[in-house]
């Protein structure tokens, strides 16, 4: 939803999730997953946050919504209730990409720095759960995967802007 401040999550979609009770069946978890898919770009590291929900759906397991799921669900509700405002960058503006890796996912935040104070404004969050063989990658390879995933998903931004990747890993030598 576009407002004067920037781009915000649809308040109706957010309200529905905030008011939801904890899912009690696999079907309810699937419904929650569908609702969250539309709001993932407003949730930092969303793949890490929803992973406990998807583990409850594994075929080999019996459905079990546990305390960890409740904790993550409450945290998600809190994050969604605190509106995240994204901004559209100006043409040609330099953007900054912060990347994060975990054991199960890669994530990134595309940021715009607004002059004169250098205030950082969110442009987009990207998060993706890794498949089995990607989880075995070295941290540097996971960081490269985060950059490639983000560049693929946000291609128009990468084509129109100079992007500086910020990480504590030596990606420059790896990607050269």
Please give the average pLDDT of every successive group of 10 residues along the chain, which has 176 residues: 77 87 87 84 84 74 79 87 86 93 94 84 93 94 94 95 88 67
50 within domain boundaries: yes
pLDDT at 76: 86
Are 105 and 42 found together in one domain? no
Q: Are 99 and 150 in contact (CB under 8 A)?
A: yes
pLDDT at 70: 86
pLDDT at 43: 85
**Residue-range definition of the domain harbouring residue 67:** 11-81
Q: Is 124 helix (H, G, I), strand (E, B) or coil?
A: strand
- Cis before 2 (ω within 30): no
pLDDT at 59: 59
Q: Are 131 and 146 in contact (CB under 8 A)?
A: no
How many domains, the chain? 2
Taken in order 167, 55, 126, 109, the sign of the CA dihedral is negative
163 within domain boundaries: yes
Are 101 and 168 found together in one domain? yes
Lookup: tokens for 30: 């699937």
Task: Give the Cα separation of 127 and 132 in Å (integer).
Answer: 16
- The per-residue b/e assignment along 37-75, b for 16 or more CB within 10 angstroms, e otherwise, is eebbbbbbbbbbbbbbbeebeeeeeeeebeeebeebbee
pLDDT at 46: 85
pLDDT at 36: 84
Task: Give the Cα separation of 33 and 30 in Å (integer).
Answer: 5
pLDDT at 92: 87
Please identify, among 25, 46, 81, the residue that sits at the C-terminal boundary of a domain.
Answer: 81
What angle (nearest 5°) sits at the alpha carbon of residue 146, between those of residues 75 and 149? 105
53 within domain boundaries: yes
Q: What is the DSSP letter of 11?
A: H
pLDDT at 101: 92
Task: Give the Cα separation of 22 and 92 in Å (integer).
Answer: 44
Q: What is the CATH number of the domain that holds 166?
A: 3.10.20.370
């Amino acid at each position: 939803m576009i407002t004067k401040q920037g781009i915000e999550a649809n308040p109706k979609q957010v309200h529905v999730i905030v008011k939801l009770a904890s899912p009690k069946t696999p079907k309810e978890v699937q419904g929650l997953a569908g609702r969250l898919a539309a709001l993932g770009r407003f949730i930092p590291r969303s793949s890490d946050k929803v992973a406990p929900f998807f583990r409850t759906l594994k075929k080999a397991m019996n459905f079990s919504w546990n305390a960890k799921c409740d904790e993550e669900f409450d945290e998600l509700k809190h994050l969604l209730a605190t509106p995240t405002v994204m901004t559209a960058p100006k043409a040609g503006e330099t953007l900054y990409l912060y990347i994060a890796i975990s054991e199960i996912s890669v994530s990134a935040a595309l940021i715009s720095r607004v002059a004169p104070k250098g205030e950082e404004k969110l442009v987009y969050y990207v998060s993706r759960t890794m498949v089995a063989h990607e989880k075995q990658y070295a941290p540097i390879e996971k960081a490269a995967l985060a950059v490639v995933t983000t560049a693929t998903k946000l291609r128009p931004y990468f084509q129109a802007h100079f992007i500086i990747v910020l990480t504590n890993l030596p990606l420059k030598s790896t990607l050269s």
